[in-house]
Amino acid sequence: MIQRKFVLNAALVVALCGAAAFAQEAEDGRPAVTTDFSDHQIAVIDVDTVELLAELESSAILLACRTGLGVQHVVLPGELAAELRGRGVVVNTIEPDAQAWMNRDRAERDAKRAQRGVGFFDIYRRYGEISTFLDGVVADHPGIAVREVVGTSFGDDPLGLPGLEIFSIRLTGPGLDSDPMRPVVVINGCQHAREWISPASVTYVINELADMYGNDPRVTEIINEVELHFIPVMNPNGYEYTHTNNRFWRKNRRSNAVGGVGVDPNRNWPVGWNNGISTSTSGNNDLYVGTAPLSEPETNSVAVYMENLAGSVVCLDGCGNGCCGIGESTSRLKGHLDVHSFSQVILGPWSFTDQVAPPRVEELTLVQDNMSAAMFDATGFSYPAALGDSPLLPPAGGVMPDWSFGELGALSWTLEMRPQSNAGGGFELPESQIIPASEELLAAVIELADHARKRLEISTPAPLAETVQAEAPLALRAEVLELNGNKVVTNSVVARTRAGGAGPFDVVPMSPESGGFAATIMTPPCDTLLEIYYEAQAFDGTVVRFPADAPTSVFTTTTAELTVVADDDFESDNGWTRDPEGNDTAIRGLWERAAPGATSAQSSADFSADGTLCWVTDGNPGASLGSGDVDGGVTTLVSPAFDLSGADAAVVRYTRWYSNTTGNSPNADVFVIEVSNDDGINWVELETVGPGGPDTSGGWRSVSFRVEDFVSLTGAVRFRFSASDLGGGSIVEAAIDEFGIETIGVCETVSGCTADLDSNSAVNLDDFSIFIAQFGNGPTECAGGCTADLDGNDRVDLDDFSIFIAQFGNGPTECGL
């Protein structure tokens, strides 16, 4: 190997986002003041050995967020490019002079800046411009916006420049900003200097939210109830350096005692600090951890600021959001987003290890899925969300959200903004995308802040079916997730139900039952509207409903005469077949009836309360995420033929699982469900899950369809479930459970009016009151006669209730008048 002045660090094997021991030193070991990249080129290299990867990590700048073997964009010295070529490595130069590229890039921006009519978010702005712009936002919104000094960035040692101010902008509604009970969220940008979309988008979000206050009802409520703190530029001196000298600079601008310039702020936090996982102790390295946790002014000042915000709210009487009892304490800091680029992913804890699951997985999952869905809704761009053990990004020690989650109790994420890859512009997302990308961040911030004010989240494991059996027991189940440290008052969980669409709702207490709350109600007579909502109370007295705006919105169903045609929890073999026609092309991950084993794409268990089996695309978790997923084509599962002939209507329901977001090509495949009414010759699509959207990151989802909306009902109706992996690099897992079909018959009127207890030729609520007053009477009470004892057995019991219900709603016609 030829002598080079580049510092080699063979120990560093794992690296992220351009992690590199970059040539910053002159011959004397002192940091070079200016960086000239004219002897560097930007190239694409297919890195096929770990030795080559290590060499590039130490002597070039890798521009990817997911470094590793494979195609990499790199900035490398020309002589290294030549040497590699000499050894047979294919180096595809896309820009021969990296300095010329940077100069051009800067000149284009300067030219745009000088043009008239250029909007603030049409170009990437300098630190000073961002600071002045946000002063304007504060001045325009004096009632809700405040600027505060957080600290001072490390002055640019080599350039002899002073440290710049790290500042925050706080948004919160008027009058309440001293309320220590008010929850706090923090959003920071630009720990990493070259990730320009980060400070740009955080600045955009501050401005938008301030303008939405008073105009957008949801945002107004959120700002009135939550304190939002933004620190748009955490590393201002590093950021400026990327504008003036080196577009690829990542760290702060400290001259390190160990040599080299810059500490990686996002390796300088206390949780997992210097743990050897994507960390370096070499001052030249892009992942240099610094001399101690929080050794840097950027991290330390922000840590102090956030610790003060988190505080400790001790409940004296009553309690605010997060207090679960008098004398208990809680952190005010409920949420934190650390905004980076690039990769387009939402990364939850832990980062420092992929070996330990974080606490509060359910709440983390709920919020990150909501953020992902809101971002998708904003622009149609997919931001898959994952917790620590996901291969979306390899682990790293000493990162900021691990600290805010682990030590301050916030729900915290690294948000990697656009683009998805270097092909989309890498750290320099095209300026035309600043606004749409910022709209995605805005959507995520609104979700996070909205969550911060919540106490409880009620959900039901399955949606209420659109029709239910008339006059039959109906099991209701609700789950209550305790959010932000709050607790549910156990006996406060109720369902409220109403039959017939008018009058007050009945209260149905729900009792605790394995992981949730349950109650059973009797459904009203055939063809009656039944409305249901759920309610629970938090320790601080807040009442939470599901749906949230109940009773304005409620869940509804209609009673009918149902005939069960199929009810299959897949615990036994009921004639389902994989690939009946032999056309499947998948080579792995084929459908089987099995108990699934957990991976980050596959469920750890079937869906049914009883039993363990479901149909799943290879239930074995395998040695790695990619060993049991669908690969190489399509795998199909076909139901037996069901006889639906003679029915006017039929409902099919199933609970499905689908995940296509955990691999290197997320959101590339679909899960197709079809129906056939000619025994499997022709198929009609029932639904397609994916390629994007909320149902593509795993989780059991129950759905139902009216079969006659798709095909006419015949004697040979089949269903087909097709999961495929048609693109490369995708991890695809699918499963189904709890399959059922019911036909819907015509409501039969039960004639007779023995239940017309007040003899007015109608069986109505008045009769019901009389019935209920006698309910439970036995031989003693009925000695003198019980009008409600409809079957004449000297008791007013459930049998009489059935008779009563059967006649309920009858009028003069049915009463034979």
Task: List interacting residues with ligand 0X9 (CB under 6 A).
Answer: 16-17, 65, 192, 195, 266, 340, 347, 351, 393, 395-396, 399, 414, 416
Q: Which stretch binds Zn ion (CB under 5 A): 85-93, 322-330, 340-348, 760-768?
A: 340-348
Taking CB under 5 A as the rule, does residue 192 contact Zn ion?
yes
Binding-site partner at residue 347 among ligand 0X9, Zn ion, none, CB < 5 to 8 Å by type: ligand 0X9
Q: Quote the least distance from Cβ 388 to ligand 0X9, whole Å.
A: 7
CB burial string 411-443: b at 16+ within 10 A, e below: bbbbbbbbbbbbeebbbbbebebbbebbbbbbb
When the beta carbons of 394 and 740 are compared against ligand 0X9, the nearer one is 394
When the beta carbons of 406 and 485 are compared against ligand 0X9, the nearer one is 406
Q: Which stretch binds Zn ion (CB under 5 A): 47-55, 185-193, 321-329, 589-597?
A: 185-193
Binding-site partner at residue 351 among Zn ion, ligand 0X9, none, CB < 5 to 8 Å by type: ligand 0X9
Q: Quote the least distance from Cβ 376 to ligand 0X9, whole Å.
A: 21
Q: Quote the least distance from Cβ 386 to ligand 0X9, whole Å.
A: 9
The H or E element containing residue 406 is helix 400-406
Backbone angles phi, psi at 562, to 5 degrees: -105, 145
When the beta carbons of 386 and 480 are compared against Zn ion, the nearer one is 386
Binding-site partner at residue 800 among Zn ion, ligand 0X9, none, CB < 5 to 8 Å by type: none
CB-side exposure of 627: number of CA atoms within 13 Å? Answer: 8
Q: Quote the least distance from Cβ 568 to Zn ion, whole Å.
A: 48
When the beta carbons of 125 and 194 are compared against Zn ion, the nearer one is 194
Total chain residues near Zn ion (CB under 5 A): 3
Q: Which stretch binds Zn ion (CB under 5 A): 192-200, 375-383, 642-650, 679-687?
A: 192-200
When the beta carbons of 130 and 223 are compared against Zn ion, the nearer one is 130
Q: Which stretch binds Zn ion (CB under 5 A): 275-283, 332-340, 367-375, 423-431?
A: 332-340
Binding-site partner at residue 492 among Zn ion, ligand 0X9, none, CB < 5 to 8 Å by type: none
CA distances from 16 to 63, 280, 357 (A): 9, 12, 22
Whether 737 and 654 have beta carbons less than 8 Å apart is answered as yes
When the beta carbons of 340 and 455 are compared against Zn ion, the nearer one is 340
Whether 737 and 785 have beta carbons less than 8 Å apart is answered as no
What CA–CA distance (Å, rounded) separates 497 from 509? 11
Report which of 487, 608, 476, 467 is spatially closest to residue 546, judged by C-alpha positions: 476
Q: Quote the least distance from Cβ 348 to ligand 0X9, whole Å.
A: 8
Q: Quote the least distance from Cβ 559 to ligand 0X9, whole Å.
A: 50
Q: Quote the least distance from Cβ 158 to ligand 0X9, whole Å.
A: 22
Residue bearing tokens 């007579």:
525
Report which of 182, 138, 163 is spatially closest to residue 239, judged by C-alpha positions: 163
Beta strand 184-189 pairing with 333-341 = parallel
When the beta carbons of 358 and 680 are compared against ligand 0X9, the nearer one is 358
Binding-site partner at residue 65 among Zn ion, ligand 0X9, none, CB < 5 to 8 Å by type: ligand 0X9
Q: Quote the least distance from Cβ 228 to Zn ion, whole Å.
A: 22
Print the SS3 string covering 438-454.
Answer: HHHHHHHHHHHHHHHCC
First to last CA, the chain: 107
When the beta carbons of 395 and 485 are compared against ligand 0X9, the nearer one is 395
Q: Quote the least distance from Cβ 435 to Zn ion, whole Å.
A: 21
The H or E element containing residue 227 is strand 227-231
Report which of 336, 345, 347, 337 is spatially closest to residue 418, judged by C-alpha positions: 345
Q: Quote the least distance from Cβ 340 to ligand 0X9, whole Å.
A: 3
Q: Which two tokens stand for residue 538?
A: 């938090």
Contacts of 382 (CB under 8 A, 6+ apart): 344, 372, 376, 661, 666, 667, 692
Q: Which stretch binds Zn ion (CB under 5 A): 194-202, 330-338, 612-620, 650-658?
A: 194-202
What CA–CA distance (Å, rounded) separates 446 from 199? 17
When the beta carbons of 394 and 633 are compared against ligand 0X9, the nearer one is 394
When the beta carbons of 250 and 254 are compared against ligand 0X9, the nearer one is 250
C-alpha angle with apex 334: 330 to 338, nearest 5 degrees?
Answer: 140
Backbone angles phi, psi at 13, to 5 degrees: -110, -40
Q: Which stretch binds Zn ion (CB under 5 A): 311-319, 338-346, 433-441, 610-618?
A: 338-346
Q: Quote the least distance from Cβ 166 to Zn ion, whole Å.
A: 17
When the beta carbons of 154 and 658 are compared against ligand 0X9, the nearer one is 154
Binding-site partner at residue 16 among ligand 0X9, Zn ion, none, CB < 5 to 8 Å by type: ligand 0X9
Among 267, 340, 454, 487, contact with Zn ion (rule: CB under 5 A): 340
Binding-site partner at residue 289 among ligand 0X9, Zn ion, none, CB < 5 to 8 Å by type: none
What CA–CA distance (Å, rounded) separates 564 from 562? 6
Q: Which stretch binds Zn ion (CB under 5 A): 336-344, 428-436, 456-464, 745-753?
A: 336-344
Binding-site partner at residue 40 among ligand 0X9, Zn ion, none, CB < 5 to 8 Å by type: none
Contacts of 605 (CB under 8 A, 6+ apart): 595, 596, 612
Taking CB under 5 A as the rule, does residue 251 contact Zn ion?
no
What CA–CA distance (Å, rounded) separates 683 from 317? 63
**DSSP per position, 233-299:** -S-HHHHHHHHHT-TT--S--PBPTTSSB---GGG-SSTTTT-SSS-B--TTBTTB--SSTT-SHHH
Q: Quote the least distance from Cβ 414 to ligand 0X9, whole Å.
A: 4
When the beta carbons of 23 and 65 are compared against ligand 0X9, the nearer one is 65
- Strands, E assignment, 309-364: 313-314, 329-330, 333-341, 345-347
Helix boundaries (H) for 213-360: 217-225, 236-244, 297-310
Binding-site partner at residue 395 among ligand 0X9, Zn ion, none, CB < 5 to 8 Å by type: ligand 0X9
Q: Quote the least distance from Cβ 387 to ligand 0X9, whole Å.
A: 9
Report which of 90, 189, 213 is spatially closest to residue 141, judged by C-alpha positions: 213
What CA–CA distance (Å, rounded) separates 326 from 539? 10
CB nearest ligand 0X9: which residue? 17
Q: Quote the least distance from Cβ 367 to ligand 0X9, whole Å.
A: 15
Q: Quote the least distance from Cβ 125 to ligand 0X9, whole Å.
A: 20
The H or E element containing residue 437 is helix 434-452
When the beta carbons of 322 and 398 are compared against ligand 0X9, the nearer one is 398
What radius of gyration, in Å, describes the C-alpha atoms of the chain? Answer: 32
**Beta carbons within 10 angstroms of residue 627's beta carbon:** 14
Q: Which stretch binds Zn ion (CB under 5 A): 193-201, 210-218, 267-275, 537-545?
A: 193-201
**Beta carbons within 10 angstroms of residue 468's beta carbon:** 17
**DSSP per position, 685-696:** EEEEE-SSSGGG
When the beta carbons of 386 and 723 are compared against ligand 0X9, the nearer one is 386
The one-letter amino acid code at 140 reads D
Number of H helices, E strands in the chain: 13, 34
Report which of 529, 521, 524 is spatially closest to residue 470, judged by C-alpha positions: 524
Q: Quote the least distance from Cβ 338 to Zn ion, whole Å.
A: 8
Q: Using CB under 5 A, list all residues that contact Zn ion.
A: 192, 195, 340
